């Protein structure tokens, strides 16, 4: 989607945040950087750029996402069919489509099944290929569009809806296969090197887990099939890749500063106006795709951008939690110094902090959904719910290092975490995947096997 006015305002404020407003110094700011700071930043640009290369960070679009042969790319030529399917489906569902939880309780209308089934069959084949990469011009930076993400979320809902209907009809094999495809879809979306892609993948994984909970309720008296479902959930669990997201955000900032044209301006306020009200969209034919900007102001901005990202991404890329923590810490430290590149301090610090919460919550949810299906299997074998996780032989630790809570009400049960604040605000028993934002930050999954 195109950059919103709000996003442009944030971006503009970030640029100003590099050096501040004002009227003195070599670039004419009072700002938060002295003339010496500005000179040092510009002088250090080449070294920071070399450091980025040394760390393996992408300084060209090909390094960010190397091209793959068309025969190995499941997304090759897929966008038109995806967008066409989504448009037709939206028309069938009407202006007020049912929520996902409501869908799961209903049979699929014949016209929806007729539209969805051939599309989902094609999607399943495509997801078996090694890569799943839509065509992107990464040098467009913040102007880059991602029109496929919303339809792909709809595809995961379609898979979940069909999965529950298949389980209800006794086709457990088909139901499990749909869930497997849903998790593959989350992994395919997660190949995109952007923060938004990782968050969409988390959402798709969550929708697939919601479908899995509903399927487990449909097969509640079949312990062997519940065992199969638990095994599938263990083997298919999706994990976000914050390092890949950081690489993408690093490159977005680099591409922006390469291709932002400040003219002869040396006042950051004038550059802000160019961000807020661009005269025309970027022309792919004229984009600068490597090297460093020549404008003094942009070189200072870019030096700070590289400096902060180099520090944030200098750890072990395989340590997912460390990548999140380092990025958030660097943003907070930079904000305190008030000399930061906006791109990291003003927007990425809070954004990555929130995304990190979602990433860690997904890790816990992966454990909860498996444990919940094991409890369903225990119930099928024993004729009742266990009194505790311990009775079922289970222990689940959440992303805050605390034991996951178990609660039962009228035959339904919830597995939930008490959130960052450590306060137990109680579970919800009327929705399968939930966050208790009204009272606190608890989050969990609920099974309702006794519900008619």
What lies within 8 Å, CB to CB, of 144 at 6+ separation is: 136, 137, 138, 252
Q: Do 432 and 393 form a contact (C-beta atoms < 8 A)?
A: no
Q: Higher confidence at residue 178 or residue 335?
A: 178
d(CA 258, CA 288): 6
pLDDT at site 266 = 64
Phi, psi of 435 (to 5 degrees): -130, 130
pLDDT at site 269 = 63
pLDDT at site 62 = 97
d(CA 206, CA 131): 22
360-369, 396-405, 408-417, 419-428: lowest mean pLDDT where?
Answer: 419-428
- Model confidence at 279, pLDDT cuts 50, 70, 90, reads low
Q: What is the token pair recorded at 101?
A: 């939880």
d(CA 95, CA 108): 17
**Would you kindly state where each structural domain of the chain is located, as residue ranges?**
1-377, 384-447
d(CA 420, CA 423): 8
Percent pLDDT > 90 in the chain is 52
d(CA 291, CA 235): 43
Q: If we measure between CA atoms, which residue out of 314, 367, 301 comes closest to residue 340? A: 301
Phi, psi of 447 (to 5 degrees): -110, 140
Q: Do 241 and 249 form a contact (C-beta atoms < 8 A)?
A: no
What are the pLDDT digits (tens) for 221-271? Answer: 999 999 999 999 999 999 999 999 989 988 988 988 888 876 666 666 666
Phi, psi of 67 (to 5 degrees): -65, 150
Q: If we measure between CA atoms, which residue out of 357, 410, 19, 376 comes closest to residue 212? A: 376
pLDDT at site 18 = 42
Q: What is the token pair recorded at 13?
A: 């404020």
Q: Do 239 and 363 form a contact (C-beta atoms < 8 A)?
A: yes
Q: If we measure between CA atoms, which residue out of 400, 445, 434, 431 comes closest to residue 418? A: 400
Looking from the CA of 237 toward its CB, the CA atoms found within 13 Å total: 18
Distance set, CA 310 to CA 58, 64, 413 (Å): 11, 15, 46
Q: To which residue do tokens 């791109």 refer?
A: 343
Sheet holding 442-447, edge to edge: 405-409, 412-417, 442-447, 433-436
Strand partners, 414: 407, 446
DSSP conformation letters of 410-440: TTEEEEEE-TTTT------SS-SEEEETTTS
pLDDT at site 30 = 27
DSSP 370: H
d(CA 338, CA 316): 27
d(CA 30, CA 230): 61
What are the pLDDT digits (tens) for 339-362? Answer: 444 444 444 555 666 777 788 888
pLDDT at site 271 = 64
Q: For the whole model, what pTM was predicted? A: 0.87
pLDDT at site 5 = 47
Looking from the CA of 317 toward its CB, the CA atoms found within 13 Å total: 12
Pairs from 335-339 (Cβ < 8 Å, separation ≥ 24): 337/32, 338/17, 338/20, 338/32, 339/18, 339/19, 339/32, 339/33, 339/37, 339/304
């Amino acid at each position: 989607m195109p950059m919103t006015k709000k996003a442009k305002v944030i971006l503009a404020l970030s640029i100003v945040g590099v050096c501040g407003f004002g009227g003195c110094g070599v670039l004419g700011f009072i700002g938060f950087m002295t003339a010496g700071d500005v000179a040092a930043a510009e002088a250090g640009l080449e070294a920071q750029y070399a450091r980025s290369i040394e760390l393996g960070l992408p300084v060209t679009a090909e390094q960010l996402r190397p091209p793959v042969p068309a025969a190995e790319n499941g997304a090759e030529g897929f966008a038109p069919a995806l967008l066409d399917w989504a448009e037709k489906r939206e028309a069938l569902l009407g202006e007020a489509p049912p929520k996902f939880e409501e869908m799961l309780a209903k049979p699929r209308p014949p016209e929806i099944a007729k539209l969805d089934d051939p599309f989902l069959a094609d999607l399943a084949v495509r997801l078996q290929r090694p890569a799943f990469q839509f065509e992107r011009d990464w040098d467009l930076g913040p102007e880059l569009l991602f029109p496929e993400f919303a339809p792909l979320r709809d595809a995961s809902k379609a898979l979940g809806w069909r999965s529950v209907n298949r389980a209800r009809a006794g086709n457990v094999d088909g139901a499990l296969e749909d869930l497997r495809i849903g998790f593959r879809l989350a992994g395919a979306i997660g190949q995109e090197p952007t923060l938004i892609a990782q968050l969409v993948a988390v959402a798709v994984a969550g929708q697939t887990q919601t479908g899995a909970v509903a399927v487990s309720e449909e097969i509640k008296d079949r312990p062997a099939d519940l065992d199969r479902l638990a095994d599938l959930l263990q083997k298919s669990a999706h994990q976000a890749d914050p390092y890949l997201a950081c690489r993408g955000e690093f490159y977005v900032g680099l591409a922006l500063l390469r291709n932002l044209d400040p003219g002869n301006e040396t006042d950051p306020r004038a550059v802000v106006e160019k961000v807020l009200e661009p005269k025309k969209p970027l022309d792919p034919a004229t984009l600068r795709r490597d090297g460093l900007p020549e404008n003094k102001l942009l070189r200072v901005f870019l030096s700070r951008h590289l400096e902060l990202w180099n520090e944030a991404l200098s750890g072990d890329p395989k340590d997912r939690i460390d990548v999140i923590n380092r990025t958030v810490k660097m943003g907070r430290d930079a904000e305190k110094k008030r000399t930061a590149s906006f791109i990291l301090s003003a927007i990425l610090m809070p954004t990555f902090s929130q995304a990190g919460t979602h990433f860690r919550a997904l890790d816990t949810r992966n454990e909860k959904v498996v444990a919940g299906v094991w409890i369903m299997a225990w119930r099928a074998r024993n004729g009742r719910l266990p009194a505790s996780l311990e009775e079922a032989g289970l222990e689940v630790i959440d992303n805050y290092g605390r034991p996951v809570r178990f609660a039962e009400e009228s035959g339904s049960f919830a597995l939930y975490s008490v959130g960052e604040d450590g306060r137990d605000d109680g579970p919800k028993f009327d929705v399968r995947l939930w966050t208790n934002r009204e009272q606190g930050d608890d989050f969990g999954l609920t099974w309702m096997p006794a519900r008619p």
